[in-house]
Amino acid sequence: MAVSDESPVYLKLRAGIAAAILRGEYRAGDQLPSVRAYAADQGANPLTVAKAYQSFQDDGYVEVRRGVGMFVLPGAVERLRTAERDRFLTGMWPRVREHIDLLGLDPAELLDRETA
């Protein structure tokens, strides 16, 4: 879900929505905020939010009910978690691991370290 600063805005918005779904803020059957409401909340263009939402629909995580809104589909949380894990392990983890090695950090110490 973490995206780089160079990522398109719609991917950043998508990552925020995905995180909210994975945290349980939106569960199966829950309605996502309207495109306009989410755009206003995020300070984004509604067309950009619509593109982020469309990607969730394309991936089968949400369904559109015409005139009502977008709703999280049953099983979406589990499938989204699996997809995000795969994305992390193949896209992000190799770079993180390389950086850990470059800095001479001990992965075990990192796991034991408490966040400040």
Domain ranges across the chain? 9-112
Alpha-carbon distance of 107 to 98, in angstroms, equals 11
Average pLDDT, rounded, for the chain: 91
Please state the rounded mean pLDDT for residues 55-60. Answer: 95
Please state the rounded mean pLDDT for residues 28-51. Answer: 96
Buried b (16+ CB within 10 A) or exposed e, 47-63: ebbbbbbbbbeeeebbe
Give tens-digit pLDDT for 16-38. Answer: 999 999 999 999 999 999 999 99
Instruction: Give the closest residue to 57 by CA, choosing from 41, 39, 76, 38.
Output: 76
8: left (phi over 0), alpha (psi -120 to 50) or beta: beta
Question: What's the pLDDT at 33?
Answer: 96
Q: Predicted confidence band at 75 (pLDDT cuts at 50, 70, 90)? A: very high
Question: What's the pLDDT at 69?
Answer: 93
- With 60 as the cut, is the pLDDT of residue 109 above it? yes
Question: What's the pLDDT at 58?
Answer: 96
Question: What's the pLDDT at 3?
Answer: 56
**Class in CATH terms, 9-112:** mainly alpha
Q: Are strands 62-65 and 69-72 parallel, antiparallel or unpaired?
A: antiparallel
